[in-house]
Amino acid sequence: MHPITDALPATLCYLDGEYTALRDAKISVLDRGFIFGDGIYEVVPVYGGQPFCFEEHMARLDRSLAELQITNPLSLAQWRDIVMRLIAPGGNAPQAVYFQITRGVAPRDHAMIKGLTPTVFVMVNPLPPVSDAVRAKGVACVTADDFRWQKAHIKSTSLLGAVLSRQISVEAGAADTVMFRGDSLSEASSSNVWIVKDGVLIGPPKDNLVLTGIRYGLLERLCLEGGIPFALRRVSRDEVFGADELILSSASKEVLPVVTLDGKTIGNGHPGPIYKSLYAAYQQAKQRNAEKQGATA
């Protein structure tokens, strides 16, 4: 056995109506998620014992399921009950709740078989924060052509494209791989990508070529509160390399400054003022959410 599989955790997970130790959870080899990647997933960060942007994540889960013609098997209240039970042992430590729903078990056939019972899986992992030292210095990224499919807006479990693109940055010793479709910025392997130019936060438009992260809406709100101009439009390769700031966003990274790209300095080579403002506002939003949800629990 591999040492990683030998050390699988015994933490509680949810699988098809049952709570069991994660290391003991099993699915059929004919599950369409295993055979085809025919399913969707979602990741919700948890701070102070409360899920962050929970309704927004669940709305995206609904959208992804609808694209695959899978009926959401649970109500919003049922999803929340599962989350709260699983995160309880972790107390106030930052955690990430992973949801996966597949079409279910059936004989192997590419067609979308009707009437299957979806496989529902939920687990919780620690969410280690990016260190203060890394945030103060910023990170390096590399670029690659976006070789994935044309339905990037679906948060699909078919993540081989993301695996391959992430490996590019791993082998380069970089934090992530920033991808372009032709001359236009799309996203990174596991993050959305933003540029700052003349004080404006700019990101690619919401369409089928980008997985619209929950941080899209969150950053727009934080920009509105902080008086930072916000725009969504096509962003060229030259604009990325000529940006004053380059920022990654995701559930695990929150917002993270990129100071070099393909070895070339971005801006002045240091985390910029828009990043710093957004990061501070992000922490305040987390605190407000924990206090609000804790008060109503």
- What are the phi and psi torsion angles at 34 (to 5°)? -75, -40
Told to judge if 276 belongs to the known catalytic residues of this protein, a careful annotator would answer: no
Neighbours of 113 (CB within 10 A): 14
Q: Which residues contact 4 (CB under 8 A, 6 or more apart)?
A: none
- Report the phi/psi class of residue 160: left, alpha or beta, with left for phi > 0 and alpha for psi in -120 to 50: alpha
For residue 212, the one-letter residue type is T
How far is 276 from 280, CA to CA, in rounded Å? 6
Catalytic residue (one of 26, 137, 151, 155):
155
Burial environment of residue 110 by CB neighbours within 10 A (0 to 12, 13 to 18, 19 or more) = exposed
- What are the phi and psi torsion angles at 55 (to 5°)? -65, -40
Neighbours of 55 (CB within 10 A): 11
Burial environment of residue 49 by CB neighbours within 10 A (0 to 12, 13 to 18, 19 or more) = middle
Active site residues: 155
